[in-house]
Structure 1
Amino acid sequence: MMEQYHEIKAANLGLLLFYRMGDFYELFFDDAEVASRALGITLTKRGKHLGQDIPMCGVPVERADDYLHRLIALGHRVAVCEQTEDPAAARARKSVVRRDVVRLITPGTLTEDTLLDARANNYLLAIARAKAAGGDRIGLAWIDISTSEFIVTECSGPELAATLARINPNEAIVTDALYSDPEYGPLLRELAAVTPLTRDVFDSATAERRLCDYFAVATMDGLAAMSRLEATAAAACITYVERTQLGKKPPLSPPSRELSGATMAIDPATRANLELTRTLAGERRGSLLDAIDCTVTAAGSRLLAQRLAAPLTDAEAIAHRLDAVAAFVAEPMLRDSLRSTLRAAPDMSRALARLSVGRGGPRDLAALRDGVLAADDALAQLGTLAELPQEIRAAAAALRRPSRDLAQEFSKALAEELPLQKRDGGFVRGNYLPALDEARELRDASRQVVAAMQARYADDTGIKTLKIRHNNVLGYFVEVTAQHGDRLMTAPLNATFIHRQTLAGQVRFTTAELGEIEAKIANAGERALGLELEVFEQLAAMVIAAGDDLRAAAQAFALLDVTLALAKLAADDNYVRPEVDSSLAFAIEGGRHPVVEQALKRDGQPFIANACDLSPAPGQQSGQIWLLTGPNMAGKSTFLRQNALIALLAQIGSFVPASRARIGIVDRLFSRVGAADDLARGRSTFMVEMVETAVILNQASDRALVILDEIGRGTATFDGLSIAWAAIEHLHEANRCRALFATHYHELTALSSKLPRLFNATVRVKEWHGEVVFLHEVMPGSADRSYGIQVAKLAGLPPSVISRAKAVLAKLEANDRGQSVRALADDLPLFALTARAPAEPALPSEAEQLIEAVRGLHPDEMSPREALEALYALQAKLPKR
């Protein structure tokens, strides 16, 4: 057996070999050690090899999908080796059971629901590189074989990181040379799973022939126009798919080409900072996708995630999407009715993919039947709209394509209750096939005979707990508890009952009569199952023949679901339709953060809306830069992010959280918000900040939208101020982009006098009785203080520390530039105040309370009512006589 194992393993190097032995998949040698660590299962041993114990671990066949899911999620690849003959036949000829690999499972080639995330695409990406004088060109092709999507594009070397972040592949295949390349290798190794392959998979000379063979076309004219580099990546994709599917050809859609610049470019740091699909903690909950995802189908959720990852840059295409959303915002009853219909619609794309590669089951057939029937319901409801927007017209046309005869035939053929696997049988409706009805009757009658036999044996032996059971190894057998085993093995019962097996608590027997009945049952059962499998193959063939029409209907359902979901979001959360055009406008009134607003709403709190206008001023050719000052906790980061998210939502074709919005197309979105280090690459927090800032300053164009928060804070004050100063000037003079720049360096506000497109804004706060109140309102002007000590007090720093900090701050603010810090230290002995401070700080005197209260007033900002209330508050502080 181990000789057979080594032979199969040698043909599948680099994969964990699931070697079938009875009811278990066993792993040996290094595979066992890797799997035991990854799965947390016990590592045992079996026999010896070259004088050493053979490590071994195993998982039950019936639970294999759970373990496979965990291995695939960790980036492992698995070869499933099955027994390809009956063990009884092998025993008869005294040889090892024949086994062979029936499936290669890799992270990018999954089709089973149990291994896939229903709400996310599962992409396999191929990356090809061509060196050129003007810089490297990269060809990319990605496939989701569970939905048949196939897309190709080309980008430059510097654009690769942003493109990978957008596609977010589950597995990437590259050449060995690219994987070890010093420039691209580190980037590739950050992906979830990367498989280096030999150059023959990426052979550009044979790429077109391989593509033509796969799609059964004579020339490339039958496919989308592709560059040679894109064709190379596409051919690598299908070659890898054929290898992992062991020659089977999943029915992929012909490659569609994504034009360069058709979508908003968003680099990996920006995607992470804005938490588009995952929070910084890696969770979906709390992300923008989670906040806006009102879809009711898995396919709709996947499409929404795709749109969020790649906002459009074509104003006309965006307008078509907005027209569709607007139509359903205006029709709440129709919207709710259609959503109910879609909620019952199955995931047709993935059911179709499984059936096409021979891994489908009866429930997949039923899913396609139900999908076609749901299409009729959806079409009837869409017919009530006076005028269908262009996108909805196209979806309705796709829903009409599948033949209704297929649904009718499936309704006649399939039973009400369906098993998960076709091998379990029982999925064909009675009276559909007369020969099947006869075989079932014979099989069921035989089982009744077994039940009668069990009752008779229990009476004859006097053992009321005697049972007749069945498993795949022994077949039918008589089972009694251990205390009754001796009785059946002694005369006269041993003449009837033949001992088969002794376990810890049971003893098993057979009889000649039981053997005869078993043969009859097996024959009848095998014939019934054989006939059902024939019916299944006939129905599956009908599905494959109608594959294009079913796939189009599935895509239409997803589009309809996304449109209805965005309409519901707009209606429920008071979103408005944005104006999206090709200008450089960026004017938002009453803008809100979509995620924060929902969180506050759950707590019963309102969100303070704010305006933002980065549009070019009259006579100017470029957008504005807002320099935003104000204390921490005042909401600067929220304001920055919300404007970026509003632009992004507008360009996916969604209504936006604002009272009015006009967005000129943003071609690139950049965000540098928050602090994080990258210790694995030896980068400090400040180094990461500078790398991300460098990307922005080197790549932003006049159509870009840039949000920057606290540039330069990770180094010495004057160094940081200098960097922030120079960055603003570069954004203004070189990038000429629309930007929001938040900072604590109040000195930068002076730049507005020499930079005509720089506008000072601040977040309004108010001091009341020595406390700072955050109003979360953005207004023109600049902050003169950071209120850091007040925020520290809110955070719970010890009172002695707060008191000491106030004293040091007062001294620093009074210090002229000529006095050194050392001299200040002499004036402020270390811990001088702390040492004198009592455990519980004494309350200020009545006079000091009044003085502090008066100092906290801002008469110019107070309304008459607020002034009157302040006066009453001061009067209350007067000492009582």
Structure 2
Amino acid sequence: MDAALGPPEKMAERSDELTPMMAQYFELCERYEDSLVLFQVGDFYETFCEAAETTARLLEITLTQREDSTGEYPMAGIPIDNAESYIETLLDAGYRVAVADQVQEPEETTGVVDRAVTRVVTPGTLTEDELLDTEDNNFVACLTHEASDGGSYGLAVLDVSTGDFYATTVESESAARDELSRFAPAEAVVGPDASADPFDAGCVVSTYDEDAFERDAASDLVADYFGPPERLLATDAEVRACGALLAYAEYARGGADEDADVGGEHGHLDYLNHLTRYDPRSYVLLDAVALQSLELFEPRAVHGHEDATLVGVLDETACALGSRKLKDWLRRPLLDPERIDARLDAVEEWTERVRAREEIHDLLRDVYDVERLISRVARGRANARDLRSLKDTLDVVPAVADAMDGVESEKLRDLRADLDEMADVRDLIGRAVREEPPIEVTDGGVIREGYDDELDDLRETERAGKAWIDDLEQSERERTGIDSLKVGYNQVHGYYIEVTDPNLDRVPDDYTRRQTLKNSERYVTPELKEREDEIVRAEQRADDLEYDLFREVRSAVAEESERVQSLADALAELDVLVALAEVAARHGYSRPEVGGEGVHVRNGRHPVVERTESSFVPNDTQLDDDALAVITGPNMSGKSTYMRQVALIVILAQVGCFVPADEARVGLVDRVFTRVGASDDIAGGRSTFMVEMTELSDILRSATEDSLILLDEVGRGTSTADGFAIARAVTEYVHDEIGAKTLFATHHHDLTDVAAELDDAVNLHFSATQRDDGVVFEHEVAPGATTASYGVEVAKTAGVPERVIRRSRELLDAEEKPADRDRSDGDGSGEAGATAGERTADDAARDETPTDDATAELPAAVADELRRTSVADTTPLEALQLLDRLKRRLDE
């Protein structure tokens, strides 16, 4: 976010000389110094001085000049009717935007029109449909630190557009970062004693009034919305985070401008009915690294498959409500077996009830985004079409309930009971609002005939008057004998009778001239003027009454916002369950058994890769609770895909979804950790290896025996000796100290010897077959270790020039010949067990051993260091580092 903009300097220098309108603009700029103020002047939002120069440059609009009695000012404006697209550009450029609307009709004042900031548009507080992604939540987060609570952190997240509001407490900054990855907020407000470090780089971090973070002020605001905070929240840190976030949301919706007479549609967010306090330990934790590497929501690389993500595969939802709910479930897989089984029961029932499933899916297509719709209703920003959309959704509910007749699973029975048909609200909207109303609610044509007697009388007066005028033209032609006589209307002069110049001698005496044109004159009669006044009075009174009636209806609907939100939640869950059943039925997923120990899968498949590849080879997984599997095999053989496949099957099972496998038994995991793929952080000054080690450190410090760990090529970014040392030490630490279910893919083939020595470790491999025309990858996992990496063959397949390939093979052959001789069984038929770069430590030792029986004498420095070393107190990694250091000294 840009630094505070402040009042325009050119205006500040001469603020005592400004005209009333420019003084008003200057005052708003001072009050909202952290925002770019868009100031309504008629049909445009204008900016002035430095703000105008900035706006013109960013929006690529014309920079003009305003001239008044005090001088000239740069000015740039955007049309109000198309403001949202311009505001989006300003947000992308890092600005907050304070929208200052005219809150007084010009004809009602003799001086300057009152203006007030009715909303402050920020990335995390958007409610405008044009700026929102309909299928994603748009969260703003708040983080506080409470030293008195043992250093805990309070976290609150709010979607202002839907009313979703969550709070929790975590014990460390790193835990706060992990929790925030669930919600991916667009914006964050940070307390005075907290840091912005836990937030992703794509999140706009803002500061706010420190007073809002005070315990008493925050508690009072939470109580104003939800009752005593002690009943809802567990810590002071949570209370402060929630209260400050509510204050910031009110500020963004216009609540900061206390002097503005803007009505109840700004400031207080009446539609916020629920604050959900949750325990992070109730859900599987998927941090930002896991979300990215497993491609739950965003593909790591797009090669013609933009939807190559887990959510892209699963999202067969029919409406925006369901799509957002599905993403929420994927971000927060469950740890409660009963809740998981309840979802699985529902999905299984829908897989069996095909016709009902398809009927409900078709019905849900007609469901509007009523979560966001009801928030607009409650803020007083909904128009008549919004209310009709709500009614259209409510009209679907009885049919959905009928289609659910006879459901058996407890989850579906509960959802059916939650399908509030809201007959009273449906009836009110149906009686009050026309079926196809105009967008504007102030110009009439909104309220149905028969809803209000007074309005009907006014409209009848208006219609009768207009009918009389329609007949006037013919009657006056007959009375005057002027065949070209016309009756017309314009907004300036009202109704008139027009007579062309050649016929002026026939004009009756009761005609009074109203307007002279080039070739004609326009007249009015006393009776026409009387009728005009009658029509205008009836029309104006009818329009005003319609607007008042519409606001009454909208207000009545807003009072039912909690019911609408509960219904929306039920429809969203139903949509997800139907979609998951559709995916399961269409793609051959099976119901997993959740609970017990380990991960045991028969013919498992990667849910995304199987959709993007023409053929896919299923694989089994047999991973006990404390098992560590070292996976070797050539590049491109499928190691990484296999590991991700296992993780995704576990996640899907704990979401409550069927899985892509013939059978699956999944023990509950508390976290999924991934160290997969290469990446760097150039801007942050971190190399690929440093990023890898940082992620590895987080895993080793945070994983528990109930976690699932995926490690891919740990130690790749450094020397072979260092890399193997780190890989071996990590393997031993995970096995001995953590005991988590672990899949470790590696090119350090010596690591297979380590795995063979550990009680709960196994070797798995992916094999390949070399043919004359290249390498054929079988993509099948099997017990044991691989015998080759086929790196040169993969390079050839990738298109590396032939000269490089030939030279690589020459060098490889030269390296392998001594190893072949050492491995020979005496008859010359020995097979090479590893390629260059994959020779075991024993091979290297044999190459260094003298061929005679003489005993080598150690240098004194080497001998002294060996004597000082306590072997019993040396870790495997330290031992390897010592051995490498001593060997270098011997070589010197």
For normalisation by structure 1, the TM-score amounts to: 0.81
What code does the residue aligned with 1:2 have? M
What do residues 676-700 of structure 1 show as CA deviations (whole Å, max 9, x unaligned)? 1111211111111111111111111
What residue number does 1:114 align with?
Answer: 130
For 1:463 and 1:674, the matched residues in 2 are separated by 84
Q: Indicate the residue corresponding to 1:67 in structure 2.
A: 86
Q: Which amino acid aligns with 1:212?
A: A
| Residue 120 of structure 2, aligned match among 100, 104, 115 | 104
Quick one: distance in 2 between partners of 1:232 and 1:99?
Answer: 32
Residue 299 of structure 1, CA deviation: 0.6
Distance 1:475 1:35, change over 3 A: farther
Matches of 1:518 and 1:806 in 2, distance apart? 98
Residue 526 of structure 1 is aligned with which of 530, 540, 545? 540
2 CA distance for matches of 1:46 and 1:714? Answer: 61
The answer on whether the counterparts of 1:123 and 1:144 sit within 8 Å (CA) in structure 2 is yes
Change (3 A) 1:381 1:694: same
Cα 1:7–1:540, aligned 2, differ >3 Å: closer, same or farther? same
> What is the aligned partner in structure 2 of residue 195 from structure 1?
206
Compared CA separation, residues 453 and 277, structure 1 to 2 (3 A): farther
Partner of residue 156 from structure 2, selected from 121, 141, 162:
141
Report 1:328-347 matches (<5 A): 328-347=350-369
- 1:626-637 correspondence runs (5 A): 626-637=629-640
What are the within-5 Å matches in structure 2 for residues 650-729 of structure 1? 650-729=653-732
Query: What letter corresponds to residue 456 of structure 2 in structure 1?
Result: D
Cα shift at 1:89? 4.8
Whether the 8 Å contact between 1:666 and 1:703 is mirrored in structure 2 is yes
Which residue identity does 2:284 align to in structure 1? Answer: M
* Offset at residue 754 of structure 1 (A): 1.3
Closer, same or farther in 2 for the Cα pair 1:116/1:578, shift >3 Å? same
Aligned residue number for residue 395 of structure 2: 373
**Aligned pair partner of 2:574 in 530, 547, 560:** 560
Q: Does structure 2 conserve the Cα–Cα contact (< 8 Å) formed by 1:153 and 1:259?
A: yes
Equivalents in 2 of 1:56, 1:31: separation in Å?
8
Mapped to 2, the partners of 1:475 and 1:15 lie a distance apart of 44
Conserved in 2, the CA contact under 8 Å of 1:127 and 1:173? yes
Distance 1:186 1:549, change over 3 A: closer
- Structure 1 letter corresponding to 2:452: L
SS in 1 for 2:394: helix
RMSD across aligned positions (CA): 3.6
Shift of 1:579: 0.9
- Call closer, same or farther: CA 1:85–1:764 in 2, change over 3 Å: same
Question: What displacement does 1:275 show?
Answer: 1.4
- 2:423 is the counterpart of 1:404: yes
Seen in structure 2, the aligned counterparts of structure 1 residues 469 and 60 have a Cα distance that, compared at 3 Å, is farther
Matched with 2:621 is: 612
2:458 corresponds in structure 1 to: 439
Look up the equivalent residue of 2:147 and give its one-letter code: K
**How far, CA to CA, are the matches of 1:76 and 1:446 in structure 2?**
53
2:277 aligned partner: 257
Q: Which residue of 1 aligns with 2:241?
A: 233
Cα distance between partner residues in 1 of 2:467 and 2:809: 90
Distance 1:428 1:314 in 2: 50
Cα gap change, 1:803/1:723 in structure 2, threshold over 3 Å: closer, same or farther?
A: same
> Which residue pairs with 2:378 in the alignment?
356
Give the corresponding residue for 1:151. Answer: 166
**Aligned residue number for residue 782 of structure 1:** 785
Partner deviation per Cα, 1:746-767 (whole Å, 9 max, x = no partner) = 1211112211222111112111
CA 1:452–1:35: 2 relative to 1, 3 Å: farther
Partners of 2:396 and 2:784 in 1: how far apart?
57
Q: SS at the partner of 2:644?
A: helix
Q: Residues of 2 paired with 1:527 and 1:429: CA distance?
A: 16
Q: For the structure 1 residues 148 and 186, does the alpha-carbon distance in structure 2 shift closer, same or farther, using more than 3 Å as the test?
A: closer
Residue of structure 2 aligned with 1:597, choices 605, 610, 624: 610
Specify the alignment match of 2:8 in structure 1: none
Distance 2:181 2:701 in 1: 19
Q: C-alpha deviations, 1:12-55, integer Å up to 9, x for none?
A: 1212211111211112234334434443434444349998x744
Tell me the residue number matched to 2:299: 279
Q: Structure 1 residues 436, 695: closer, same or farther in 2, change over 3 A?
A: same
1-side partners of 2:43 and 2:27: how far apart?
22
Change (3 A) 1:448 1:6: farther
Which of 185, 196, 212 is matched with 2:223 structurally?
Answer: 212
Instruction: From 84, 98, 104, give the equivalent of 1:85.
Output: 104
Check the 8 A contact 1:626/1:739 in 2, yes or no. Answer: yes
Cα contact 1:201–1:236 (8 A) shared by 2: yes
How far apart in 2 are the matches of 1:519 and 1:645? 73
**Structure 1 residues 802 and 85, CA, compared in 2 at 3 Å: closer, same or farther?**
same
| Cα distance between partner residues in 2 of 1:426 and 1:151 | 41
Letter of the 1:337 counterpart: E
Measure, in 2, the Cα distance between the counterparts of 1:50 and 1:612.
80
Letter in 2 for 1:799: E
The answer (yes or no) to whether the contact 2:142–2:191 under 8 Å persists in 1 is no
Q: Within the alignment, does 1:242 sit opposite 2:250 as a pair? A: yes
Code of the aligned partner of 1:145: V
In structure 2, the CA distance between the partners of 1:525 and 1:311, relative to structure 1 (3 Å rule), is same
Work out the percentage of aligned pairs sharing the same amino acid: 36
Q: Secondary structure at the match of 1:803?
A: helix
Q: Which amino acid aligns with 2:649?
A: I
Residue 516 to residue 106, structure 1, CA distance change in 2 (3 Å)? farther
Q: Assess, with a 3 A threshold, how the Cα gap between structure 1 residues 445 and 33 changes in structure 2: closer, same or farther.
A: farther
Amino acid at match of 1:352: I
Match of 1:164 among 180, 190, 207: 180
Task: State whether residues 229 and 239 of structure 2, in contact with CA within 8 Å, keep that contact through their aligned partners in structure 1.
Answer: no
- One-letter amino acid of the structure 2 residue matched with residue 168 of structure 1: A
1:723 shift after superposition: 1.5
> Partner amino acid for 1:15?
S
CA distance in 1, matches of 2:808, 2:482: 94
- 1:320 paired with 2:323, answer no
Cα distance in structure 1, aligned partners of 2:88 and 2:399 = 36
1:288 has 2:301 as partner: no
- Structure 1 CA distance, aligned partners of 2:434 and 2:162? 26
- Letter of the structure 1 residue corresponding to residue 59 of structure 2: L
Displacement of 1:449: 8.9
Distance 2:795 2:461 in 1: 82
Aligned residues: 770
Structure 1 residue 244: deviation in Å?
A: 2.6
Give the SS at the match of 1:535: helix
Counterpart for residue 586 of structure 1? 599
Determine which of 118, 124, 139 is the counterpart of 1:123: 139
Per-residue CA shift, 1:519-577, capped at 9, x if unaligned? 76654433222222222122223213323222211111111111111111110111111
Mapped partners of 2:34, 2:522: distance in 1: 45
Q: For residue 268 of structure 1, what is the amino acid of its counterpart? A: A
The answer to whether the 8 A contact 1:575-1:655 is kept is yes
Are the equivalent residues in 1 in contact too, given 2:140–2:188 (CA < 8 A)?
Answer: yes
**2:622 pairs with 1:644:** no
Distance in 1 of aligned mates of 2:200 and 2:28:
29
1:250 positional shift = 2.6
Shift of 1:424: 4.4
Map Cα deviations across residues 273-325 of structure 1 (whole Å, 9 max, x no partner).
11111223599722211111110011111110101111111111111111111
Unaligned residue ranges in structure 2 (runs of 5+)? 1-20, 256-266, 497-512, 822-831, 833-892
SS at match of 2:751: helix
Q: Which runs of 5+ in 1 are unaligned?
A: 179-183, 479-494, 501-508, 617-622, 819-854, 856-881
> 2:554 is matched with which residue?
540
Partner of 1:224: 232
**Alignment correspondent of 1:870:** none
